Every structure is written in structure tokens, then in C-alpha cells.
Structure 1
Amino acid sequence: MEQLLHELAALIGPTHVLTDPADTEPHAVDWRGRYHGRPLAVALPGSTAEVAALVALCRDRGIAIVPQGGNTSTCGGATPDGSGRQLVVNLRRLRAVRRLDPDNNSLTVEAGLTLAEVQALAEGAGRLFPLSLASEGSCQIGGNLSTNAGGLAVLRYGTMRELTLGLEVVLPDGQVLDALRGLRKDTSGLDVKQLFIGAEGQLGLITAATLKLFPLPTARATAWVGVDSARTAIAWLAALQAAFGDRLTTFELISEVCQKLLDHHHPGQLPFVAPWALLIELSDSGETAALEERLVNWLSEQAMVDGVMAQSESERQRLWQLREALSETQKRDGPSIKHDIGVPTSMIPAFLEQCGQALKTAFPGVRIVAFGHAGDGNLHYNVSRTRPDPAALFDDEPAVNAIVYEWVDRFGGTLAAEHGVGQLKTPWLERYKDPAALALMRGIKQLLDPRGLMNPGKWLAP
């Protein structure tokens, strides 16, 4: 291994090959602290050419690679195993802006830029890159692509799959796939870039992407509204879409339990507590006052528990901060068994009712913290307090997961709507994913990576 480290240092520079445990430790544990590994080293290549040379070297030496971006995975998808023989390849030094083309509404960047930096680049050109996540200050574009991230504006703009025009990828044999064209229509064969979006680094390393930009909205109307039930909330969603079309950018659903957590950890900031809260945002061109008036008029005709409209940008930001604080607030409150699930939007109320009842029957006193992107059916469905002793919570994880995923499946849903599969959900994917789809995906893995060196131990492993 010492010879390999020397060769890596010759390729990318000795200061960019980390071997000291103090330097590698942050790269050896996932964001939630559930998965711990021991990498051979952490390599920090600075260009696509260096990534390609590094991958070719590892292929020749039979060394497994674990691609890593901002290391914000919640499923262990970017964590090495404990063997000390897997090389973490972190792409944070790939930071070039290759091309900003406002007339084409496109931006080509390397994979190491954070999502917040890409948003700022777009805004500086009078454009919008609409992907928005709570971790946007630390997650990187490469990781967003590898998990097909969605976030808060999927309802209008779609996931990373819909937001990507082109990719540059280093394949497992060291070849570079150059598919960075900024085209919106191309029928010249299969759209091969789609293979790598959502593959969690198991088919290659994404080094750059051409992303879709949109006109920067000049008007926004934002409201925090309380309703009496999830059924009412979903009925509102359909009515809002009918009234406002694609001006409806965000429709977030927040349970009473979530609101009480926010009120406890952020006292005085929550407008009110209702059975269910909705964060609704419209965006458009034109004047904010006109859009706000339309939303106020619509809301005035609805039955609601309570509601507030943001009267300024600072008030809008405060409402968004409450929504974005949910994950961290829940983490502060104690451990939970997390599920990033999706069901058809129309099924959300029935899922919440029936899955919740099944969990309460199995675990009296259980607490369910449910919130998420109701507009696209993605719920963050988190379970805690299955036992009096919080330390014993994860003893119940298999039984809790069995209940949750069974109800997800009954309602035609998915066990991984936004955060990927990683290590966490692999056994459940085997159970619930269509066998033909799994076989097809593994066939593609075998074709591209026959030695299984790209992010091994995750869900595409044979």
C-alpha cells in the first residue's frame, strides 16, 4: 500500500493525499454518525485529468474507490468500510466554473462547488438555480447529482434529473465521458448521463455538470397556514394548483409534533401551533404586491385554523428558516429512526393515518415526527420513543422499518425518495424493488464496473 500512496502523491501532489487519522476521520463517518469506516487514505484530486489518472491507477491495483462530496449523506452512501483498503476520493477541489451561458439558461460547473455557490452564481447572472436543501451550504453538486436530490422546489422544477442538461463522468476504467452539452433536445441515441444521476457513485465519478437555469422570479408570496387535517392539506394542494398553476413553487406539510419541537427549541419564533401547518410559496415575474394579493384573496375563501403572510423579505426568510431548521431541531431533541419515503400525493393522508396507527399499536407511546414536500409526495417520516430508554431505540429499528416500508409499499410508494439508498436501505431495496429492475441495474454495474471497485458495499453490489 505504501507504493500506491507514493504513486497517488505523484499524480495529485503529496499534500492532497491524506493519511493521518486526524485528517481522514471527518471523511470516515457519515453526517448522522451511524456509519464509521477506516479509509486507506483520502485523495483530493484537483482536475478531471487527475481524477481519471487516479481511477486508472486504482483499477490497475485493484483498489476500491468511495466517491465523496460534502459528506452530507444520511444513508452511509459516501462512507468507506472498516477494512482500511478503500480509497476515499473527495472532489472538493474541483471548483471551476466552466461556462455561464445566461442566453441558454445554463451553467457548467465542476462537482466540488457547493449548492449555495451554484445558486449564487446563477443569481449573479439574473437567473435561478432552483434546487434548495437545508444542507446547501455544505452539500456539493456532485453529491446532489449522485443522489438525484430534490428538495423544496421539486413541485415546480423537478429533481436533479430534470435540472441537468449534461455531465462529465470518469468511468471505472479511467475513461472520461464528455456529455456536457447544453442541449434540451437530443434524440441521437440513449441519454447515457441518466445512468449516473442517482447511482451514488457506483458507476463512475461525476466531475462536472451542465445545469438548467431559469428566469429569476421578481415576485414571491409566502404564507404559513394552519389546517385541521392532512386531508384538508392535500385538498388545498389540488385547489392551489388549479388556481395558480406552476406559480405554486412550494407546498410543505408540517405536523403538530414538528411544530411543538420548533416551538420548544426556537421559542417565540413559531407563528402558532395547528394540527398541520403548511408553508406555501408562489413565485412569478411581475410585482410582489399583486401576487400577494392573489394569494390573500384565495386564502380568505378557505377554512383555516390560522395563518400569516410574509410582509417583507426578512419575514419570508424567517418562515423558511423554521422549515429548514426541522432536521437539525429533531436531531437536537434526540435520536430517531429516519425514513425518507414517498407515496403518491393523493395517498399521503391515508398513509399517515394507517401507518401511524400500526406503529402506535406495535409501540404504545411512540412519537412520529412527520414533515416534508407534500407537493411531490416526499415525506420525512421519523420515529422515536419506541421505548422508555432512548438508548434502546435502534433495537426496534428492524421492526419499525418493516411496518413503515410495508405501508409505503401498499400505497405504491418508495423507500428512498430523496436521500438515496446507501448502506442504510440496501436490505429493504432487495425486498421491495422490482426484481427485473434490480437485475437490469446490476447488469449495467457489471458492464461498467466488472471488478466492483466503485463504491462497493452499497446497493448495486451483487
Structure 2
Amino acid sequence: MENNVQQYQQLADMLQTRIDENRIFTDQALLLAYGTDASFYRLIPKMVLRLKNLDEVIFTIQACAQFNIAYTFRAAGTSLSGQAVSDSVLITLTDDWRNHKISDNGHKITLQPGVIGADANKYLASFGRKIGPDPASINTCKIGGIAANNASGMCCGSAQNSYRTVDSMKLVFADGILLDTASPQSIRAFESNQSRLIMGINALCAEVAKNEALTQRIVHKYRLKNTTGYSLNALVDYSDPIEIIKHLMIGSEGTLGFIAEITYNTVIEHPHKASALIVFNNIDEASQAVTALSKDPVSAVEMMDGRAMRSVADKPGMPAFIAGLDLQAGTLLIESRASDKTLLEEQCATIMQTVAQFKVIESIPFTSDSETVATLWGIRKGMFPAVGAVREVGTTVIIEDVAFPVEHLAAGVLDLQKLFDRFHYDEAIIFGHALEGNLHFVFTQSFEDADEIKRYGDFMDAVAELVAVKYQGSLKAEHGTGRNMAPYVELEWGKDGYALMQKIKALFDPCGLLNPGVIINDDPQSHLKNLKPMPKADELIDRCIECGFCEPVCPSRTLSLSPRQRIVLYRELQRRESAGETENIKDLRKVFEYQGLDTCAATGLCAERCPVGINTGDLVKKLRTNKYKKFTPIARWTANHFSATTKMVSLGLKTNQVAQNVLGKKTLSTVVNGVRNISAGKTPIWIPEIPSANNSPVQSTKAANSSAKKVVYLPSCASRTMGQQAGNSDNRPLTEVTQSLIKKAGFEVIIPEQLSDQCCGMPYDSKGMNALADQKSQQLEKVLWQASEQGKWPVLMDTSPCAKQSIEKFSQPIEVLEPTGFVLKYLLEHLTIKPIDEAVMLHVTCSSRRMGLENSMLELAKTCASEVIIPEHIQCCGWAGDKGFTTPELNEAALHTLKEQVPNSCKRGFSNSRTCEIGLSHHSGIPYQSILYLVDEASH
């Protein structure tokens, strides 16, 4: 749809009357970054909006209609088929859309579209319930996308998807009218005001009822998993127009309206589960086993072909026999669930009796051992990343999603494999949800030249004929039609079915403004256009598939860019430089400087969520090497004179305290932050939570021979210099509290020599000064090796970032622990704990999360306090070394929801990083201290 620049400017002007201008984006670089989703299509929007409430959505819809400008809604952007990209207006939602309400003792849950799927299940866990859909992206994808795509998953099948489990919805239509299907009053008003739509729905129902062949086709298509086109089964399953509208919205991919809220009927989450891995000679035998197993108490049966198993054979922890399987082998991963252990054992025995009817060449029997189960499902979940990790630079990973009638599953797999050979997709693998006949196949594809695009087009034509015509299956079982399968909808559904879908689209969206080009697209070549380039940029990120799984844990995602978006911009920078496109490179570099580099916390949390393990922070630190190069001489001086450096920091803290006492907080803030404003942010910010100086210097101590329990205590440079902030109930410095607790447990404390010169290297590492970081790390390792008597005694570092840095850098066998790990392993058994009778906040630092200590930290806190609260959606505080002072907006953005999550009864919080606690205190309204204070207070 063509619209001129003036129309978009007029639209922007209108939107700014109701929407904050900082949530209306028109900068070209940001449009590219925000416009990218997980699919292999690229459309760059003219405008991106972040809307915070329903009124803004309705106003935007009506404004776009006034200027005849198209718009697309996006949730998490994990869609794979091109349904969440736009070349007009892209509408995203702020974190304000995360409300939920549980009713009917957990049998219903009402969710706003911004709720992450896994969070919905977390809310329901205490009721033993969950939502039905369980897509593989559930830790990232949002309810709006789950419902709009009718996403399902490994255990969901078609019986528990959104279509089958929806109870009610709040919907906004193309004219801005709101319908709450749970409200009789809203329904009456809608029926009165929208008689055209109601009459149109009734007419469509009558048309289907008269067309027996079409009715039978609809019934046949939906005995399979099917998300190709609109949910035509709504016209067969229901007669009430409101029910039909509600169910047509499921899987409509934002082309019929906006789902502002959905209430699900929840399903049982069985507490007892077991998994088994069974390998057969070939796919045919595996498929026969699937048919037999469909009558057994199985909750999931995942099939993997020989190539799929081969793709993960070299991954750590994989069973040894996988490497020896030939390419003909067929493997099933089976899960059974039950309400109690005895019933589960009986179910597993029944399933194995069925399996025994077939020739099994390898197996791992049913087990509930969490580690083994994680390994087994790691095989299945690791296949998509395995292909992505080995693809050639410049190619993209494509995952297609089809369904065969189960009776044709084996033949379908074999025919797909023949197509792979015919079109030379030698790396392609097949896996999927076998009970539903739903198969995913993954392959790599270049779109860099016309021949490659033609190869892909010919391949998809052949796949469509195979699946939709030969086997009468579904071309899209759960990933949505999008742009990718839009040209094939008529092939699958026939002329009558496709014409019906065109009428549905015209009825709901007469002006064609809602996500045009998706599901209904008259261009037979649309799936071969607007293909996303994947240029070589840097080996650290070249494997990125832009899936967006990293985004929920990124502390800068609401301020600037997420890891995915940083990679998108950096790829574009490298592409322009390689192509010699000097125009606009300077502007793009300037945007990337702040959005990409300055506001990245470089925590590495993204690597934990990334399917191929990419740490975008590593790229950022590498690029910072050049950015901070001019400061290297100063940094080198501080590294070589670290004792003097920390003394200057301590002097600064003392000066701050004096100034605060003399001038008062308000005046001091005005002066210091006024200078910051004048300097355009080049000087540090001042906040009242800046701690006092640590006036209790730590002295080096050597080990005595008498004690059998010793620990080397290395106070971080932060805890050596910083005391506590004003208002803390315990004003002792952390160094004093730590030693008190260690001695209370009967341990002798060893303080290393030359303590004031020691640093883990983190301050230099975060700025990409690798040589200086290594220098300090090696110096520290040498000192600790000596102090620990060559690794004989454990080393406690009182802040988690220092511990993580040292664990990763040290080459000698020194046991390094942060506070939580040390207390749990060494101190707790020697202490008598009486939990304090109060609720406390707990912040698990990003370094602790990356060390796998989240549950341990919660366990320790719960041991020491009657109630522990971990705030939602805060994975990292965004303090990031010194960025809390230099880039305070990052800390603010990362913690923007913290204060509202602190109950009135909660007066303090705990963590395990001294610098993080400054920002946490500032943005929560309560003081935060090390978790060691809590343990010390609760112990005797």
C-alpha cells in the first residue's frame, strides 16, 4: 500500500497528541532494528510504535484508518513465517501489557497480550495447571502471538491449542470498536452497532452449510494440526456469531483485529513425568510404533530422522550410541505424565509393552531423573540450533512445519527426504510431533543470487504439491501462514475454501489495512520477495538466526536495543562498508554508538537464551576496544597502580560524605548533576545512595597451622573501598560482616598478601581492554594460588561478578566461590539459623544466573527469612560496572518495574554484588545489602 511521506508525517503529528513522542520511532536505523523478526523476510516499517494501553491502540487504529495507512501488530517477534514484519506502521506493546488474573481455582486465566507464555504457566504452577499451548519459544513468545498464530507445541497437539481452550476475549476491530466476549452488555452493544459484521458471519455460515464438499474438507483438514489460512472450522463448529468471531481471531495473525485480552481454560500440569528414547531401524518402523503408541498414555512422542540425530551426535552429554546410528534410523522421544508416581510407573510399563512389539536397536529406558531427562530433551531441542551453528556465513536457517495424516507419516518422511536430495539440501533434517503427524524440517538457504532463490521457490512448490495435494496434509501445522505460505493457501484449500477466506478478510477489514500481504496475498511470488540478507559481520555473531530468544533477559531492551537488534544494526553496518555504501554510514555509526555500545550491559545473559550460544556482549566488548583505545594509557596506569587507584576512590567517597553533610543531599545533587547536564552526560551522576567509604581497612593474614577449616577471603575492590549507604540497619562494611560470619562458623580467615593491588580484571574486561584484564587476573591468580596453599583452601570472593570472572579466567585448580555458593557448601552446616520474621527482596545478579545459582540463592534466602520476593522480569540490574554512574538510564530502564513490586511490608533487600546494590537501593526505595548480612543476622 503506497502512502507518501506527508501522510506519515500527518499521522505522526496526530499520534503525538496522545502518545509520548519517545515511543514513536521514525529514525531509519531504529526502524531497521525494530522491524526485524525471526523470519527470513525483511520489510522496513515507516514508523514503529510502542503502545502502553488499550486507549492508545484504539486511537492508533482509528488514526491509521483516517490516513488509509496499513499497520501490523507484533508481540515478541519470534514468528517464523513473515507475519510480524511491515513496510508501513509496526505496532509493538510496552511492558504495561503484562497483567493477569486467575479465576475458578486456576481453571481459568485471563492474560494481556504482553504476558510471556512461560510466565502464564508460572502463575498457574501452584494450582497444578498450565495453559494448553506449549510452543518451543514459550520462554520468549507472548500470549498475543500465541493466540494470533494458534501456536501449539510438543504436548499441546490440536486438543489443547488456543482454538480449543479459549474462553473469552477482548477484541478491537478495524474501526476501533471494542468487543468483550465475556460481557453480555458488550455483546449486546456490539450486535447492535456491528450488524453488518454479524449478518456477514451468518451469511458465511449458511454458505458453508450449503456446500457439503467444503464442509467435509474443513472437517478433514482440522483432524490434523492446521494453521494454513483462517480457522474455517469456526464456521462448522459454532453457530453463534460471537463464538465464530472469537474463534476466527485465533490464528488470524493480526489480519482481522487486535486481541487485547484472552481468557484461557487451563489444562492439568501433571506433577510426575518420565521420558524414554527409543531407536528403530528406520522411519517406517518408527512410524508404525507411533500409530500403536497413539492408543497408550503418552503425552508427547517426538520423531527424529537419522540426519537429525547425526546433527547432535558431537554435542556434549549426548549418549555415545548416537554417533553410530546410520541415516536410515528413526528415533522416538516419548514422554508420559501422571498425577502420582505409581500411575506413572504403570503407564511407562504399558508403553514399553507396546514398544516391545517392534525391533528396537538402541534405547534409554523411561526415567524421571531430572538430569537424564534434560539430556534427552536436549537432543530434541538442540537440533534446530545444530543446523544453525554449522551453516555457511550468509545463509539463513529455514524451519518449515507441515502435517501429514498419521497413516501417511512414514511415506511423507521418505518423500521429504527424496526432495532434500533432489534439490541438494544435504544438511536438511526432520523432526517433529509424531502423534499429530506434524513434522518440522530444517535446512539452510542462501538468498544472495537468483539461482538460489529459484532453487528455494522450486523446492517449496514441490513441498506444497507433496503435502497439500498428494497427502492432503497441512502446509502449516503450527507456525502460521504468514507471507511464506500465503501463495499456497488456495492450493491447499481449493477455490471454494480460499474464496471463503477472502470474504472473511473483506468482512473484517474492508479497507485492507490490517497486516496486508499475510494469509491472503494475490502475488504468487510473494514468498520469494523481501528476503532478509544475512551478511558476514563478525564470527562472534555470524551464527545468529535473529530468533529473538535473547530479548526478555536483556536489561537494555526497553531503553535502546536488544541483542538481536544490535546484531541487525551491526550486520547492516558491515554490509554497507563491504558494499562501499558510504552514504548514511556515519549516521548509522552514530546511532549504533549509543544504542549498540554505550547502553549494552554486556552481561552475557543473552548467551544463556540463545539457541546457538551467541554472547552479544562479547561483540560489544570487542568493539569497545577501539572506542576506549584513547583511554588505554590511563587504564594501564590504574592497573599498574591499583592500590593508589582504590585510595583515590576511597578519598572520593569520603569527600562525597563530607559534601553531603555540609551542603545537604538536595544541594549536592543540584551541583553535581547540573555539571553533568552542562557536560552532556560526560561526568558521573550523583545519587543519594552513593555509599560512604569503608573506614575499616582489611589487613593481610597468613594461615595458622592449628585450624583444619580455612578459607581465603578476597574482598573485592568495591567492598574494600565502599562502606554502606545512610539508612541501613547494619552499617558495618561488608568486609567486617563477611569475616564475622566466617569466624562464627569456625573457619580461619586467610587474607592474601598485597591485597590493595588486587583486582579480578572486570573493570578492564567490560571496556574491551583484554590485555589489562588478563594482566590483573593473572596477578590475582598468582596471589590466590599462594594464599590457598596451591588450591588446598577454597577462595571466597564477596561479589559474584568478580567470582565469575575469576572462575572463567584462572588456569590453576583454585576453588573460587561467591557468597551463596560458599555459605551453602561450607558454612551452613556449622551455623544455627533462626529465620528473621520479615519479608525481604532478593536480586539474583546476572553473574549468579550465569553460574547457575538462581535456585541456590533463593534457597539460602528462604533459609534465613520468612518470606523472600524475587521481582519479575528483572534478570540484570543494568548497573554494569560503572554504567550506573555514567549511563544511569540503563540502570533505570532495567529496574523500571522494581519499585512497584516491593510490598509495603518489605523494608530491605539483598543481593551479592556491592555495586549492583547501589542501583537496586536507588530504584527500589529500600536499602539493598549483600546476602551475607542476612545470613549473619539469622545465624548463631
Aligned to 1:269: 318
Q: Is 1:303 matched with 2:362? A: no
The one of the two structures with greater contact order (alpha-carbon pairs below 8 A, sep at least 6) is 1
| Structure 2 letter corresponding to 1:267 | P
Q: Please show how residues 133-282 of structure 1 align to structure 2 within 5 Å.
A: 133-155=135-157, 157-180=159-182, 188-189=240-241, 191=243, 192-242=245-295, 244=296, 247-264=297-314, 266-270=315-319, 272-273=321-322, 274=325, 275-282=329-336
Query: Contact conserved, 1:337 with 1:394, CA < 8 A, in 2?
Result: no
Q: TM-score, normalised by structure 2?
A: 0.45
1:115 to 109, 117, 125: 117
Aligned to 2:10: 3
Q: Please show how residues 333-372 of structure 1 align to structure 2 within 5 Å.
A: 333-334=390-391, 335-336=396-397, 338-360=399-421, 362-363=422-423, 366-372=426-432
- The 1:271/1:180 distance shift into structure 2, 3 A limit, reads farther
Aligned to 2:379: 322
| Structure 2 letter corresponding to 1:344 | P
2:28 to 11, 18, 21: 21
Shift of 1:19: 2.5
Matched position secondary structure for 2:387: helix
Matched position secondary structure for 2:122: helix
Stretch of structure 1 that moved more, 436-445 or 288-297 = 288-297
Aligned to 2:86: 80
Q: Is 1:400 matched with 2:402? A: no
Query: Contact conserved, 1:97 with 1:110, CA < 8 A, in 2?
Result: yes
Query: Contact conserved, 1:165 with 1:181, CA < 8 A, in 2?
Result: no
Query: Contact conserved, 1:110 with 1:209, CA < 8 A, in 2?
Result: yes
Query: Contact conserved, 2:109 with 2:264, CA < 8 A, in 1?
Result: yes
Shift of 1:71: 0.5
Q: Is 1:382 matched with 2:442? A: yes
| RMSD of Structure 2 on Structure 1 (CA) | 2.8
Aligned to 1:61: 67
Structure 1: distance between partners of 2:330 and 2:450 = 29
Query: Contact conserved, 1:55 with 1:173, CA < 8 A, in 2?
Result: yes
Deviations 1:261-315 (A, max 9, x none): 1123x23424632411111011121115554455455545653111113341232
Query: Contact conserved, 1:337 with 1:397, CA < 8 A, in 2?
Result: no
Structure 2: distance between partners of 1:131 and 1:174 = 28
Query: Contact conserved, 1:71 with 1:78, CA < 8 A, in 2?
Result: yes
- The 1:180/1:111 distance shift into structure 2, 3 A limit, reads farther
Query: Contact conserved, 1:76 with 1:422, CA < 8 A, in 2?
Result: yes
Matched position secondary structure for 1:10: coil
| Structure 2 letter corresponding to 1:374 | A
Shift of 1:56: 1.2
Stretch of structure 1 that moved more, 160-169 or 20-29 = 20-29
- The 1:98/1:49 distance shift into structure 2, 3 A limit, reads farther
Which blocks of at least 5 consecutive residues in structure 2 are unaligned? 1-7, 185-236, 523-940
Matched position secondary structure for 2:260: strand
- The 1:99/1:181 distance shift into structure 2, 3 A limit, reads farther
Matched position secondary structure for 2:312: helix
Query: Contact conserved, 1:156 with 1:250, CA < 8 A, in 2?
Result: no
Matched position secondary structure for 2:146: helix
| Structure 2 letter corresponding to 1:127 | R
Query: Contact conserved, 1:220 with 1:291, CA < 8 A, in 2?
Result: no
| Structure 2 letter corresponding to 1:39 | P
Query: Contact conserved, 2:271 with 2:339, CA < 8 A, in 1?
Result: yes
Q: Is 1:286 matched with 2:340? A: yes
Structure 2: distance between partners of 1:100 and 1:277 = 39
Structure 1: distance between partners of 2:141 and 2:423 = 35
Query: Contact conserved, 1:29 with 1:79, CA < 8 A, in 2?
Result: yes
Query: Contact conserved, 2:102 with 2:109, CA < 8 A, in 1?
Result: yes
2:515 to 438, 452, 455: 455
Which blocks of at least 5 consecutive residues in structure 1 are unaligned? none
Count of residues in correspondence between the two structures:
449
Stretch of structure 1 that moved more, 301-310 or 161-170 = 301-310
| Structure 2 letter corresponding to 1:11 | R
| Structure 2 letter corresponding to 1:398 | G
Deviations 1:309-343 (A, max 9, x none): 33412322222222122222222222455421111
Stretch of structure 1 that moved more, 94-103 or 324-333 = 94-103
Structure 2: distance between partners of 1:123 and 1:324 = 23
- The 1:116/1:392 distance shift into structure 2, 3 A limit, reads farther
Query: Contact conserved, 2:292 with 2:354, CA < 8 A, in 1?
Result: no
Structure 2: distance between partners of 1:345 and 1:94 = 43
Query: Contact conserved, 1:342 with 1:415, CA < 8 A, in 2?
Result: yes
Question: Which runs of structure 1 show a deviation greater than 6 angstroms over 4 or more consecutive aligned residues?
Answer: 389-392
User: Which structure carries more helix by proportion?
Assistant: 2
Query: Contact conserved, 2:277 with 2:331, CA < 8 A, in 1?
Result: yes
- The 1:364/1:51 distance shift into structure 2, 3 A limit, reads closer
Query: Contact conserved, 1:31 with 1:74, CA < 8 A, in 2?
Result: yes
